[in-house]
Structure formats: structure tokens, C-alpha cells
């Protein structure tokens, strides 16, 4: 029996799959289930987005000729999408090599995969598969502790843009008392508008507070 199990996180850029393309065009974020490959070569996709982003996302997905049978259903403040895709997903290449995907996030065209591999030999095969596809970068790798109840470690539920906004604000002293910089200065450092920075900051803080107190 192989006792070593490793948690692995990948970052993917440059992918043109339907979900990556749609989130890039609409500047939205979706969380997705691992894609299911059918024997006929089609892929079953399931993902969810915030209700505020759902209309724009649905319009783009509905016009993508690589997708069929798009269905959307609202559940509380989220909208769940299901469809059939004719386009292969990058994560399937890694799965075929032994990557056991646990979570997928598409954030404005950038993808984040978290999962596990059993043993170093499998990891080598997964890394070889990653090297043969579009911009796949290994972000983190660490042993899965026997005391862990979940297959992968918990992650803060904010997007890459929200994390960057909060980290930059922290580094520049926005949260200090008194503040060393104002919102406009943080926005300039990020290269975005003041309103965009404040929106990302509020959403990121809300996600953290929900994780802590919800």
C-alpha cells in the first residue's frame, strides 16, 4: 500500500475552453465540478456563479457553439449551470495521468485546480501531462495529513482579484490606524478604478467573514 498522498494546486492560463473563455469575457468567477467525459467524447459540465453575474455569463455560454443543452437554475444567491461540451478540458489531461481533482475555479479566464495524487511516481506523470498542455503552473504541493478530514485543505473562498486587492491594501498600510494610504492610492497600485478596488475588497472581506462566522 502506498501511504504517501500529496495535495496539489495548479494554476492554468491561456486556456480557451468554454468556461475559461466565458469568465474572461464577462470578468466573472465560477466554481465547477470535475468534468465528466462520456464515451461519445462529449463532456458534462456543471458550475455555479453568483446571481449577480449569472445573466452575463448565461448570454456568453448560450452563444458558444461548443456547448449544447445549457440549463440554469437559481438556488438562493447562486445560479447552477449544466451543459454538454464538445471541447476537451485541460483538467482531463491531468486526471488521465492520475490527478484526483477536488475543486475547480475559473476566475476571469484563469483556472485553479486543487486535488491530490497518490505517490511521487503518479505526481511525475501528472507533471509530464501538465507540461504538454497550455500554461499549467504548479502552485503548491504538500503532504495530506492523516488527521485531515477532507481530501484537500480548506481554502479561503475569494477570487484571485479579491486576494490581490486585499493583499495590496494590507502591504500598503490601508488597514492601519491611521491609514498610510487611501482607497485611490491602492487602486492606482493595482491598476484599477477606485470603485473596482472597493468592490473587490468588500466581496473579499465578506467571503472571509462568512467563512469565519457563517
Q: Grid coordinates representing 1? A: 500500500
Residue 153 falls inside a structural domain: no
Please tell me whether residues 196 and 118 are part of one structural domain.
no
Residue 41 three-state SS? coil
Residue 93 falls inside a structural domain: yes
Strand 110-118 relative to strand 100-107: parallel, antiparallel, unpaired? antiparallel
Please tell me whether residues 97 and 10 are part of one structural domain.
yes
Q: How far apart are CA 8 and CA 141, in angstroms?
A: 5
Residue 165 falls inside a structural domain: yes
Please tell me whether residues 95 and 135 are part of one structural domain.
yes
For residue 40, what is the DSSP state? T
* Per-position b or e across 134-163, b if 16+ CB within 10 A of its CB: eebeeeeeeebeeeeeeebeeeeebbebbe
Q: How far apart are CA 20 and CA 86, in angstroms?
A: 14
Domain count, the chain: 2
Please tell me whether residues 182 and 118 are part of one structural domain.
no
Spell out, as residue ranges, where the chain has pLDDT lower than 50.
146-154
pLDDT at 61: 95
For the entire predicted model, the pTM comes to 0.67
Please tell me whether residues 125 and 209 are part of one structural domain.
no
Expressed as residue numbers, the domain containing 164 is 160-213
Please tell me whether residues 57 and 102 are part of one structural domain.
yes
Q: Which residue has the cell 509530464?
A: 128
Please tell me whether residues 113 and 205 are part of one structural domain.
no
Residue 150 falls inside a structural domain: no
Q: How far apart are CA 81 and CA 7, in angstroms?
A: 28
Amino acid at each position: 500500500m502506498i501511504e504517501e498522498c500529496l495535495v496539489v494546486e495548479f494554476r492554468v492560463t491561456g486556456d480557451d475552453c468554454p468556461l475559461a473563455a466565458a469568465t474572461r469575457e464577462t470578468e466573472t468567477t465560477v466554481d465547477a465540478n470535475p468534468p465528466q467525459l462520456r464515451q461519445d467524447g462529449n463532456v458534462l459540465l456543471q458550475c455555479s456563479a453568483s446571481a449577480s453575474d449569472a445573466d452575463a455569463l448565461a448570454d456568453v455560454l448560450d452563444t458558444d457553439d461548443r456547448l449544447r443543452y445549457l440549463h440554469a437554475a437559481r438556488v438562493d444567491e447562486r445560479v447552477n449551470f449544466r451543459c454538454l461540451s464538445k471541447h476537451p478540458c485541460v483538467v482531463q489531461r491531468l486526471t488521465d495521468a492520475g490527478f484526483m481533482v477536488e475543486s475547480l475555479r475559473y476566475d476571469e479566464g484563469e483556472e485553479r485546480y486543487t486535488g491530490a495524487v497518490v505517490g511521487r511516481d503518479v505526481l511525475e506523470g501528472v507533471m509530464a501531462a501538465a507540461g504538454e498542455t497550455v500554461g499549467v503552473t504548479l502552485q503548491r504541493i504538500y503532504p495530506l495529513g492523516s488527521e485531515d478530514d477532507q481530501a484537500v485543505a480548506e481554502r479561503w473562498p475569494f477570487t484571485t482579484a479579491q486576494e490581490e486587492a486585499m493583499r495590496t491594501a494590507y502591504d500598503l498600510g490601508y488597514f492601519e490606524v491611521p491609514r498610510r494610504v487611501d482607497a485611490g492610492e491602492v487602486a492606482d497600485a493595482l491598476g484599477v478604478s477606485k470603485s473596482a478596488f472597493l468592490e473587490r475588497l468588500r466581496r473579499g472581506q465578506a467571503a472571509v467573514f462568512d467563512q469565519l462566522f457563517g
